């Protein structure tokens, strides 16, 4: 059966020529558990997070700064670090 002209035109549109690819960790196309993820770490100094995942605060991008300032409970993190040292 011959396809209509409408479908032939739609198939030529760039949006319809996209394809799906699998995970590609080397290029950052992976959601979680990349072999290139940094080792998790948090350092707190006077109630301020000064290092995340091996990056100093002056190297933080906007997302790192938001996470450090608003997403991490510093007092809970300090207790967790103390617990790990005790264990």
**Neighbouring C-beta atoms of residue 68, cutoff 10 Å:** 20
Q: What is the pLDDT of residue 78?
A: 63
Place of tokens 């558990």: 33
For residue 7, being part of any structural domain is answered with: no
Q: What is the pLDDT of residue 87?
A: 56
For residue 1, being part of any structural domain is answered with: no
Q: What is the pLDDT of residue 85?
A: 58
Q: Which two tokens stand for residue 79?
A: 């207790």
Does this model's pTM top 0.75? My answer is no
pLDDT tens digits, 36-67:
988 888 899 998 999 999 999 999 999 999 99
For residue 30, being part of any structural domain is answered with: no
Q: What is the pLDDT of residue 67?
A: 94
* Alpha-helix residue ranges (DSSP H) falling in 2-50: 5-12
Q: Which two tokens stand for residue 68?
A: 């450090």
For residue 29, being part of any structural domain is answered with: no
CA 10 to chain centre: 35
| Per-residue confidence band for 80, with pLDDT thresholds at 50, 70 and 90 | low
Considering its fold, how many domains does the chain have in total? 1
Cβ–Cβ < 8 Å for 77, 52: no
The contacts of residue 47 (CB under 8 Å, 6+ apart) are 74
Q: Which residue segment(s) compose the domain that 62 sits in?
A: 38-87
């Amino acid at each position: 059966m011959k396809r209509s002209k409408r479908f032939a035109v739609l198939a030529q549109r760039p949006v319809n020529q996209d394809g799906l690819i699998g995970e590609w960790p080397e290029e950052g196309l992976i959601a979680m558990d990349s072999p290139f993820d940094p080792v998790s770490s948090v350092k707190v100094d006077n109630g301020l997070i000064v290092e995340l995942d091996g990056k100093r605060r002056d190297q933080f991008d906007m997302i790192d700064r938001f996470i450090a300032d608003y997403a991490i409970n510093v007092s809970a993190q300090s207790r967790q670090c103390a617990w790990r040292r005790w264990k």
